[in-house]
Amino acid sequence: MPLTEIVEHVHGGDLQFIDTLRRQLNLALRGKPDVVELVLICLAANGHLLLEDKPGLGKTTLAKALAGGIGGRFSRCQCTPDLLPGDITGFSLFNQKTHEFEFREGPVFSDVLLADEINRATPRTQSALLEAMAERQVTVDARKYTLSPRFFVIATQNPVDEHGTYPLPQAQLDRFAMKLSIGYPDPRDEVRMLLEATQPGREQLPNRTVPGADQLERIQQSVMTVCVLESVGDYLVRLAREIRQHPSVPMGLSPRGLLTWQRIAQAQAWIKGRSFITPDDVQDVAEPVLNVRMGLEFMESRRVIQEVLDRVAVPEYVS
């Protein structure tokens, strides 16, 4: 979006930062601008992101490019069946010189945590992320430790029917703001990918765009001020009630999920330079927000979401 179209409530430098990050992500993940846009929306909404797809489609590449682009502290955790909860949160270690226990921070003490192949970790280890994702704090040996207010989890996983995986519990899935699938690239983009692979360093991404940690926090605070008119709030509630009553949905949308849906819609409006959300924003982000929390297979979830959107009346007037 040209900066001349930015409304007064949006800081031009912040949108420039998002635009720079958008270009970097599109370089890292060729031919997937829609996926990149949703990733940016999730980041601006201060949510957590789950990338689910087959191996080799660019999930980890996208996550690393995003972490490098926003600056701040980055950590990566390769999830395996032998990973322990303390490997995530940190642990206390006895110091023989001081005769005291010292806390060693785990990878959650960062601004961006890439949990690669999260569904290869055991349920016990997966649960170690619950408190961190929900409260941005961890408890170790009955003591609470506060995480960064910008703490952002990018988790990748292979489909649950892959060998050696553990399905994430619904309670943990509900902590993710959205779930995205990347899919195969367009043939033309694959040709470009092959050609660029023969020219190392041609389009290397910088480690960081700008010093973005504080700027990102300002963006996330600004997103929370995007106006939600009562008519749009009522529309969201009617959609949620329709989902809860749908016979095909085993897990109804929780109040937390409804708040997440609204915040993601606010983030989309902010990125588009608007100070208010519309029913279109609500509809545009419905699929990635609801896919992760309805307990349905992807195609069935898509069918139900479209059915609900078609059935619930849209507010006639929004101003």
In a domain, residue 12? The reply is yes
Same domain as 149, residue 70 = yes
Task: State how many domains the chain has.
Answer: 2
- Mean pLDDT, to the nearest integer, of 126-135? 87
Compute how many other C-beta atoms are within 10 angstroms of the C-beta atom of residue 217: 16
pLDDT at 43: 95
In a domain, residue 28? The reply is yes
Last residue within a domain, chosen from 156, 188, 223: 223
Instruction: For residue 104, list its beta bridge partners.
Output: 91
CA angle 299, 244, 241 (to 5 degrees): 115
> Is the pLDDT reported for residue 199 higher than 80?
no
Integer angstrom CA distances of residue 212 from 43, 168, 199, 215: 12, 31, 30, 5
In a domain, residue 236? The reply is yes
Last residue within a domain, chosen from 164, 190, 223: 223
Same domain as 272, residue 154 = no
Same domain as 66, residue 128 = yes
Same domain as 71, residue 34 = yes
pTM over 0.85: yes
pLDDT band at 201 (very low <50, low <70, confident <90, very high): low
Residue 56 and residue 197 in contact, taking contact as beta carbons nearer than 8 Å: no
Domain assignment of residue 300, given as a range: 226-312
pLDDT at 3: 34
pLDDT at 155: 93
Same domain as 32, residue 177 = yes
In a domain, residue 319? The reply is no
Q: Which two tokens stand for residue 36?
A: 């990149």
In a domain, residue 205? The reply is no
Same domain as 271, residue 176 = no
pLDDT tens per residue, range 204-230: 555 544 445 678 889 999 999 999 999
Between strands 112-116 and 143-146, the pairing is unpaired
Same domain as 255, residue 156 = no
pLDDT at 193: 84
Q: How far apart are alpha carbons 67 and 81 in whole angstroms?
A: 25
Same domain as 180, residue 92 = yes
Look up the CATH number of the domain holding residue 237: 1.10.8.80
Long-range residue pairs from 169-174, CB within 8 A, at least 24 positions apart, any chain:
169/123, 169/126, 169/127, 170/251, 170/293, 170/295, 171/130, 172/126, 172/127, 172/129, 172/130, 172/133, 173/50, 173/292, 173/293, 174/254, 174/256, 174/257, 174/292, 174/293
4 compared with 16, residue with greater pLDDT: 16
- CA nearest neighbour of 108 among 155, 55, 168, 59: 155
Q: Which amino acid, 101? A: F
Q: How far apart are alpha carbons 305 and 170 in whole angstroms?
A: 18
Q: Which two tokens stand for residue 178?
A: 């959205």
Mean pLDDT of the chain: 87
Same domain as 178, residue 250 = no
pLDDT band at 158 (very low <50, low <70, confident <90, very high): confident
pLDDT tens per residue, range 250-293: 988 999 999 999 999 999 999 999 999 999 999 999 999 999 99
Last residue within a domain, chosen from 223, 255, 280: 223
Same domain as 218, residue 89 = yes
> Cα 197 to chain center, whole Å?
28
Same domain as 148, residue 131 = yes
